Amino acid sequence: MTAEKDIVLIYLEEKPLVFARIEDIAADHKPGWYHVRLLLLQIPVQTVTWILRDVYIDGEPFTMDGKKLYFEKIESPAEEPDDEEDEKKSTVTPQRQPEGKVISLADLKKKR
């Protein structure tokens, strides 16, 4: 189910058009319809409010001005652990840094 703060990809005539974040979903006076405020992630960024049915918010195709549109909810890809990096981390032992020479500023001032 698509909800507020979700990222969706909006398709126009089967082609990806723009990414958007759903900012707000508020009930309309007609049952089953909602005011959906979208933040269009494009340049320039802008917000639009569309009145949609709940099934349209969840990805069912709908038409605007005779053109077919639909939402596809975007899920963040899961990060898979990199086995090679894990092996490197486990086999590498931290080396001690050679201790540096401490220079006293007080001693430098005395020499002048």
Q: Say which DSSP state 3 is in.
A: -
Q: Is residue 98 part of a domain?
A: no
Is residue 97 assigned to a domain? no
Would you mind telling me the total number of residues written for the chain in this entry? 112
pLDDT at 99 over 70: yes
Q: What is the pLDDT of residues 62-74, one digit of tens each?
A: 999 999 999 999 9
Q: 3-state DSSP helix/strand/coil percent for the chain, to nearest 5? A: 20, 40, 40
49 within domain boundaries: yes
Where in the sequence is the domain holding 48, given as residue range(s)?
7-73
The tens digit of pLDDT for each residue in 77-86 reads 887 776 665 5
Least Cα distance to 40 among 63, 12, 1 occurs for 12
Residue 19 in domain:
yes
Asked if residues 41 and 18 have their Cβ atoms less than 8 Å apart, the reply is: yes
Residue 69 backbone dihedrals phi, psi, to 5 degrees? -130, 155
At residue 84, the pLDDT reads 60
Question: Quick check: is 45 in a domain?
Answer: yes
With a pLDDT cut of 90, the percent of the chain lying above it is: 65
* pLDDT for res 100: 75
Q: Is residue 32 part of a domain?
A: yes
Give how many domains the chain has, as a whole number.
1
102 in any annotated domain: no
